[in-house]
Amino acid sequence: MCGRFSLTTPLEELVKQYLIDEFVEEWQPRYNIAPSQSILSLISHNGKRRAGTITWGLVPHWAELSKWKPLINARSETLLDKPSFKSLVHSRRMVIFADGFYEWKKENSAKVPVRFQLKNEAPFVFAGLWDRNGEVTTSTILTTEANSLVGDVHERMPVMLTNREDIEKWLNTEEYSFEQAASILKPLTPERMKGYQVSSIVNSPKHDTSECIVPV
């Protein structure tokens, strides 16, 4: 599961790190990104990497917008089994920029928010898929079985990509088939990550300030 995340990294750093050719949108630091909101994404088209915003919550091209519940996550193990995703894995792969994500740990009757990020606090990307329904373009974040660090809080975690080879393999649908790219859809090793408790203000998407990422 991935239901909330952050992206506070300056645009200049993202452009340099991810070799972005076209940056079509501005972006302000976000500390508590929620479903149905705009997220910053990257696709590869005709050999160029294009970054821009897209709505989080996938609505398939064949679905009726008014009756469809947007899909914020997709299980990577069953992509080829689901009508919503099986055609997208071949030509509509994308990544989504992030520098941390939240999960909620059950402690008695309470749910305690925990933020996970890389140990070096560098940005990373989630593997994702996108689709277009009329004039509406939407996306979903792929999940996998949780590693031992995240697993203490939740049984699932987003697919996090951190090296250039994996990112290129997922983005470049012209050179890499889904069968070739599917090997990257696995948990990041726990030794590369850290997690810490944050304030319960992140429980509400109305709160989107730096206070959301401060350790408690």
Alpha-carbon span 42 to 93, nearest angstrom: 9
- 147 in helix, strand or coil? coil
Strand bridging mode 124-133 / 30-33: unpaired
Which residue among the candidates 22, 64, 103, 121 is catalytic per the annotation?
103
- 214 in helix, strand or coil? coil
Torsion of Cα atoms, 42 then 190 then 144 then 168, to 10° = 30
Alpha-carbon span 133 to 138, nearest angstrom: 8
Alpha-carbon span 36 to 137, nearest angstrom: 11
2 is catalytic: yes
Alpha-carbon span 185 to 27, nearest angstrom: 27
13 is catalytic: no
Tokens 């090793």 map to which residue? 189
Which amino acid, 47?
A: G
Q: Catalytic residues, which ones?
A: 2, 103
